[in-house]
Structures are given as C-alpha cells and as structure tokens.
A = this chain, B = another copy of it.
C-alpha cells in the first residue's frame, strides 16, 4: 500500500482515563476522572477507555470505576470501554453499563509468566467465561495484546507469537484486537511486519495499534501502521501514562500528537483537536504533571497567544 492509499477515516480510542491514570501514584479525585471522561467524549471521541474493574488491591487508582461510570454524562454514540480481568470485573462492568469490555494477554511468554504466573495460552483461556458472558449480554469485546514489539524480560518477541494470540482472542469472539507496543521499543519496519502478519488471520479493519513513545517512535510507528492499513489507534491525552523521565516509564503516545498527524494527513477523526488540547492542559494541571504532548504544548501556546490578541 502506498502513501496515496491512506485511509480517509480513523478511529482514535482515548485511553487516558484508564491506561493513562492507572499508574499515577497519587489518587486522582473521582470528580476529576469524571470531568476528564466527559471532556473527552464532548471533544468527539467515539470510544473512551473509561475505567478498569480490577481488584482495588492490585490497582488502587482504579478502585472507583463504578462511580466513574455512574457519574459521567453518556454521550450518544460514544463507546465507553472498561478493563475486565475476570468474571467479578465483568459483573461490575455489566452493572456499570459499559459498552465494551476489554480482555488481555501478552505476546511474550516471559512477560506472561512474570506478571500472572501462567502461560500465554492459559491466560487467554481464563478469559473464556468473560468473553461468553460479554457476548451473551450483547457487549462489544475487545482483546488487547501487550508486548507485541518487544518484552522487558525476553527482549525480542516472535511475530508468530503475536499471530498466535490474535487467533486465540479471535476464537474467544473478540470484535477488535489491539496490537500493543507496551514498552515502546518497536520501530516502523517491525510495526509493519507484525501488523501485516496479524492481518493475515484477523480483519485489518478491526485491528488497532497501541503505541508508546518511550523511545520517541510512536508517531513513526503510527504512520507505518497507517501505510499497512490500520484504521484504529489508541492514544492518551497529554501523554498520560508514565513520566517520560522516570525509570520504567510507560509513555503512552499523546493524543494531541496523533490527532495533529492525522489532521495533517487529511484523515477524518470527528474529534476537535483544540478541545483535546484544552483537556490535556486540564488534566495535567489537575494531577500536577508536565504535559507530555509536544503538539499539545505547542498548540496551547498558539491558542493562548490568539486569545490574548483577541482580547487586547
């Protein structure tokens, strides 16, 4: 596929409220979380990852998922996704009227063993009851695959391992599957190789790209993925999801940077970039964190200069 065959439309899934905030040490007030989700849906996101129904012992920051879901203003047309690690989580998600539940697995055997003490195959199989229940309840089911471009423990991850997990998640009935570069080590050529292999076993229009900017590669990887035909991307407003200066930083790609790229390429998203920039400023200030979006910072300066000129 050449650059002239870029998609006309792309779906950007905003993951800041969940994947972004979950690593914040300081508990974020419920009202702030609700305002964040509401600002994002108002900006036009068709899909917001809003909460995680995980044990509060594991992730205290996500303990108020039910309250977040109860407090937000549901925007018609927006899909609110929640992470559901088990049946208990699923029951919570169902009660909270989530539109989509997210299950997950790693493409790295070492990562799976280290983090959940079982093989990839076992970890995915354990989601079968959640997947069945989601289907029975008429919810969308999304499957996230971590470490698709590299693993902090084993280093390289074979392409075949990614394809294998895609097939396992497909067998569980996933409507959408995420190819995630959890530690941000992948580069553009590798991105294309992995995506094109995954697309041989699962429809590319339901595959998504989830990139981290730890090595500064996320935007190049997104451009590469677009060239391979991907039309769904994950991003996090203000780059929420790990301080880029800290060891073990996760560094989700910033939504503003992604939207700026897509806008420049003439690709429609239905999202108001300036509203997202304001939202990035809001949440960065609310949690006392530097805004990690380069486009966000540059556009905020421009917007303020314009406002100052208009009021002068």
| Bound: A244/B224 CA distance, A | 25
Chain A 215-232: CB-based contact to B (< 8 A → 1; otherwise 0): 111011011100100000
In chain B, what residue has the closest Cβ to A266? B189
User: Which of A2, A222, A223, A227 has the most CB atoms of chain B within a 10 A radius of its CB?
Assistant: A223
The chain B residue with its CB closest to the CB of A305 is: B247
- How would residues 265 to 304 of chain A score, 1 for a CB under 8 Å from any chain B CB and 0 otherwise? 1100000000000000000000000100111011101000
Given A187-B265, A244-B294, A254 and B192 touching (CB < 8 A)?
no
The distance in angstroms between the C-alpha atoms of A236 and B231, with both chains bound, is 33
Q: Give per-residue flags for A162-200: 1 if the beta carbon is below 8 A from chain B beta carbons, else 0.
A: 000000000000000000000010111110100000000
Q: Is the CB of A257 within 8 A of B216?
A: yes
A298 touching B215, Cβ below 8 Å: yes
Complex contacts, A93 vs chain B, CB 8 Å: none
> Closest B-chain residue to A304, C-beta based?
B247
- Is A223 a contact partner of B265 (Cβ separation < 8 A)? no
Interface centre among A186, A294, A301 (most CB of B within 10 A): A294
Residue-wise, chain A 14-29 has the 8 Å CB interface mask toward B (1 for contact) of: 0000000000000000
Q: How far is the CA of A254 from the CA of B244 in the complex (A)?
A: 15
Give the number of copies in the complex: 2
Q: Tell whether A153 is near chain B: CB-to-CB under 8 Å.
A: no
Neighbouring B residues of A223 by C-beta, 8 Å? 188, 220, 223-224
CB pair A260–B222 under 8 Å, yes or no, is no
Q: Which residues of B contact A6 (CB under 8 A)?
A: 189
Chain B nearest CB from A272 CB (Å) reads: 17
A177 CB, nearest partner CB in chain B, Å: 22
Asked if A52 is an interface residue, CB under 8 A from chain B, the answer is: no
Residues of B within 8 A of A264 (CB): 186-190, 217
Min CB gap A122→B, angstroms:
30
Give bound CA distance, A224 to B190, whole Å. Answer: 15
Determine the residue in chain B with the shortest Cβ distance to A256: B216
User: Given contacts A189-B6, A223-B220, A227-B3, is CB(A294)–CB(B213) below 8 Å?
Assistant: yes
Would B251 and A216 count as touching, CB distance under 8 A?
A: no
List 23 A–B pairs whose Cβ atoms lie within 8 Å, in order of A's numbering. A3-B192, A184-B298, A186-B264, A187-B261, A187-B264, A188-B223, A188-B265, A189-B266, A214-B298, A215-B295, A216-B254, A216-B260, A216-B295, A217-B260, A217-B295, A220-B220, A223-B224, A244-B294, A244-B297, A245-B290, A245-B297, A247-B301, A251-B294
9 extra interface residue pairs, beta carbon distance < 8 Å, beyond A187-B265, A219-B219, A220-B261: A187-B260, A187-B261, A215-B294, A215-B298, A216-B257, A216-B260, A216-B294, A216-B295, A245-B297
Task: Pick the 8 closest A-B CB pairs, nearest first.
Answer: A187-B264, A216-B294, A216-B257, A219-B220, A215-B295, A220-B223, A189-B265, A220-B220
